[in-house]
Amino acid sequence: MAISPVSGSDAAASATTGETAFDTAIQNAQSNEMTPEMEEMMGEGMIKVGGQMIMMPLANDILKEAMSDE
């Protein structure tokens, strides 16, 4: 079975594109421009995390207590 050679130039171009995208993302994050859509997504995310970190353990404790034989 023949294997085609790997070109180093493809990897360099891919890395440069990835670095450019990363640098652009960093610049966008540092610009401190929050759109209303981003603020809404952040609020929804905080609610989800709060529910998972705070409410679910309490709900599990209540369920365990309800299912116990005592």
| Mean pLDDT, residues 47-63 | 90
| Mean pLDDT, residues 11-38 | 79
Place of tokens 């050679």: 5
SS3 state of residue 64: helix
| Mean pLDDT, residues 26-53 | 86
Q: What letter represents residue 7's amino acid?
A: S
CA–CA–CA angle 30, 34, 37 (5° rounding): 140
Burial of 31 (0-12, 13-18, 19+ CB in 10 A): exposed
Higher pLDDT, 22 or 5: 22
Which pTM does this prediction carry?
0.40
SS3 state of residue 31: coil
